[in-house]
Amino acid sequence: MSEETPYIFSNGERIWVIDTAAAADQLPQMLERFRSGENGPFVVGDAGQPEGAFISWDAFRRLAALAADTEEFDHVYDAARERLADDEPSVPLEDVAAEIGWDLDEPINDSDLPKK
């Protein structure tokens, strides 16, 4: 059985899903990739279904800062919970960002993050 399976979104975009056993074995390599500057995400799940994702700590901090800076912080979480509860196919990130009011082209203020 393959360690990676393609998962295809309704818009045709494809991601690779690493099975959980392989992800456990490859965790040291994932950490090395983060240390070398790759942010991921590394998507994991069983039977080719995405169930979780690993991202770098820097990427997580940036996402957390963006969420905290959002005036409608609770709305962001409500929209995420609603999407996760829905069994429909995944939605492109751009559509979700538009729904919660994020401008993906807006520069991120990362001045509080440690420099590499």
pLDDT score of 44: 93
> What mean pLDDT is predicted for residues 43-51?
90
- pLDDT tens digits for range 25-38: 988 998 898 899 88
- Domain ranges within the chain, ordered by starting residue: 4-100
**3-state SS string for 52-93:** EEECCHHHHHHHHHHHHHCCCHHHHHHHHHHHHHCCCCCCCH
81 versus 34: the higher-pLDDT residue is: 34
Indicate if the pLDDT at residue 68 is higher than 70: no
* pTM metric for this prediction: 0.53
